[in-house]
């Protein structure tokens, strides 16, 4: 109640100054002015008849529990009561239904505007996709002295009727993303989330409400994490995906008065649902999503999945009064596969390995056949050149040398990645059986050759 006492003292001194003019009166007037400044300072500091509103925050004046005024300290923006336009950005969609991109790969977008009521809008109006100002008739009009106090001191007058008129206090569930330096290596993805607060709000029994604080001001822009658990991709990989969404307040009433502490969980569910649908149907599955690079700021994932949530009669702007400006994937954690997924993945790996083995075996055996054929031909040419050789001697030598050639073929086959090269009757691999040969005619018979089948 100190500011009230100061105000009453000031009024009394002003009255006395009118009676006693001269030096004493001037001194009293100077003192009165000083006391006035002191009164306004403490009134604003204590959130009573006035308030210091921090940069980029919004406060609410309530009268009898109902919203009476919105105090915003946002450069270039103001709260407008009634019908107005809020500027947004949308991705350009081509004739093929896909998002258009520049040669550099950047997403093409354009500025548009959404029609809203009782919203925080830019002072100079929102432009549509053609560059036309859609709410040029809405301009911020404040008296010079009030504008001076707001711009230089963040000072807003509330009402002399405190506590009937007062700054509203409301509950906010805190949830933030930890920095990389705060997270241990290979820590579970839940460790990235932090809902701890220094001064938690109290319930009616005076007990702490974990993760909840009582606030007097609402941030105009902020980030909020959304965890999508156990996403099963098309390739049957499962993962937890942690998103961080950049939010901007459009209609502050919904957050503080309509949905209250249920506001953030409702927005998070909308984000989780849209992201889950996209990830489950992502072409190529988990690996393709990781390799796509679609996880950063202003990525295709944002423009395709998150940005469309803002618009339409049931969009986040109209329903919750919030605009999702951007999103990024903070962390992806691979989780255990279902038995069905594990069996399918194992079968796929086995099939790939078997296919590679068969291919290697075929290549090695083809090489061995080629080596044996070349070796047999060279041997026959050498033997036929020996004068006086008989068929019996030739067949005996053929049997001995053939065994040697098979050994050489086995060695070549093994170097090619196969197993032992065997003759007919083997249960594994492709069978290689030497081609029967006809013995050459005796020397001098005029044949001079051999027939190979």
Measured CA distances, 349 to 344, 361, 408, 429, 431 (Å): 9, 18, 33, 20, 26
- Of 80-94, 126-140, 195-209, 371-385, the one with minimum mean pLDDT is 371-385
Short-list 230, 243, 241, CA closest to 341 = 230
Average pLDDT over residues 285-302: 82
Q: What is the pLDDT of residues 14-68, one digit of tens each?
A: 677 666 666 666 677 777 778 888 888 998 999 999 999 999 999 999 998 899 9
Classify the phi-psi angles of 22: left when phi > 0, otherwise alpha if psi is within -120 to 50, otherwise beta: left
The tokens 């990830």 sit on which residue?
279
- Of 111-120, 184-193, 318-327, 398-407, the one with minimum mean pLDDT is 398-407
Main-chain phi, psi angles of 173, to 5 degrees: -80, 120
DSSP codes, 97-110: SSBPB-TTSPBPEE
Tell me how far apart the terminal alpha carbons of the chain are, to the nearest angstrom. Answer: 117
Contact 235, 344 (CB under 8 A): no
Cβ-Cβ contacts under 8 Å for 49 (sequence gap 6 or more)? 3, 40, 43, 157, 158, 159, 160, 162
> What is the spatial distance between Cα 275 and Cα 301, in angstroms, rounded to a whole number?
9
pTM of the entire structure?
0.68
- Local confidence band at 235 (pLDDT 50, 70, 90 cut-offs): confident
Main-chain phi, psi angles of 50, to 5 degrees: -145, 180
- Of 184-198, 354-368, 434-448, the one with minimum mean pLDDT is 434-448
Cβ-Cβ contacts under 8 Å for 389 (sequence gap 6 or more)? 383, 443
How is residue 122 written in tokens? 């830019």
Cβ-Cβ contacts under 8 Å for 129 (sequence gap 6 or more)? 90, 110, 111, 112
C-alpha R_g of the chain: 42
Supply the pLDDT for residue 389: 65
Q: What is the pLDDT of residues 214-226, one digit of tens each?
A: 999 999 999 999 9
The tokens 């050759």 sit on which residue?
449
Measured CA distances, 100 to 105, 302, 308 (Å): 9, 14, 15
Q: List beta partners, residue 68.
A: none
Cβ-Cβ contacts under 8 Å for 404 (sequence gap 6 or more)? none
């Amino acid at each position: 109640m100190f500011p009230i006492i100061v105000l009453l003292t000031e009024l009394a001194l002003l009255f006395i100054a009118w009676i006693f003019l001269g030096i004493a009166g001037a001194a009293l007037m100077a003192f009165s002015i000083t006391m006035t400044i002191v009164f306004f300072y403490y009134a604003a500091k204590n959130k009573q008849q006035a308030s210091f509103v921090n940069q980029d925050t919004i406060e609410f004046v309530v009268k009898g529990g109902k919203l009476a005024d919105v105090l915003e300290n946002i450069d270039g923006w103001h709260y407008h009561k009634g019908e107005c336009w809020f500027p947004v950005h949308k991705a350009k969609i081509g004739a093929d239904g896909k998002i258009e991109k520049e040669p550099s790969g950047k997403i093409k977008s354009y500025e548009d505007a959404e029609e809203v009521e009782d919203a925080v809008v830019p002072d100079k109006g929102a432009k549509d996709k053609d560059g036309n100002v859609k709410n040029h008739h809405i301009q911020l009009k404040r008296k010079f002295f009030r504008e001076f106090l707001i711009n230089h001191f963040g000072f807003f007058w509330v009402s002399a009727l405190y506590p009937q008129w007062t700054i509203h206090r409301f509950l906010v569930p805190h949830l933030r993303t930890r920095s990389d330096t705060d997270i241990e290596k290979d820590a579970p993805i839940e460790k990235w989330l932090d809902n701890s607060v220094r001064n938690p709000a109290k319930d009616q029994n005076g007990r702490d409400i974990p993760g909840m604080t009582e606030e007097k001001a609402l941030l105009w822009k902020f980030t909020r994490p959304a965890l999508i658990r156990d996403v099963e991709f098309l390739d049957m990989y499962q993962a937890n995906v942690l998103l961080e969404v950049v939010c901007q307040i459009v209609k502050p009433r919904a957050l503080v008065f309509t949905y209250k502490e249920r506001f953030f969980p409702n927005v998070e569910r909308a984000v989780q649902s849209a992201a889950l649908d996209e990830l489950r149907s992502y072409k190529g599955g988990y690996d393709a999503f990781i390799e796509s690079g679609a996880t950063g700021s202003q990525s295709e994932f944002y423009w395709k999945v998150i940005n469309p949530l803002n618009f339409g009669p049931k969009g986040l702007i109209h329903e919750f009064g919030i605009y999702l400006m951007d999103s990024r994937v903070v962390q992806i954690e691979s989780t255990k596969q279902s038995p069905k997924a594990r069996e399918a993945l194992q079968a796929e790996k086995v099939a790939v390995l078997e296919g590679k083995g068969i291919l290697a075996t075929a290549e090695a055996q083809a090489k061995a056949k080629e080596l044996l054929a070349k070796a047999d031909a060279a041997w026959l040419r050498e033997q036929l050149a020996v004068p006086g050789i008989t068929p019996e001697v030739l067949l005996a030598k053929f049997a001995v040398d053939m065994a040697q050639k098979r050994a050489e073929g086995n060695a070549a086959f093994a170097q090619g990645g196969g197993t032992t090269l065997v003759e007919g009757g083997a249960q594994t691999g492709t069978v290689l059986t030497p081609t029967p040969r006809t013995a050459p005619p005796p020397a001098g018979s005029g044949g001079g050759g051999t027939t190979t089948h």
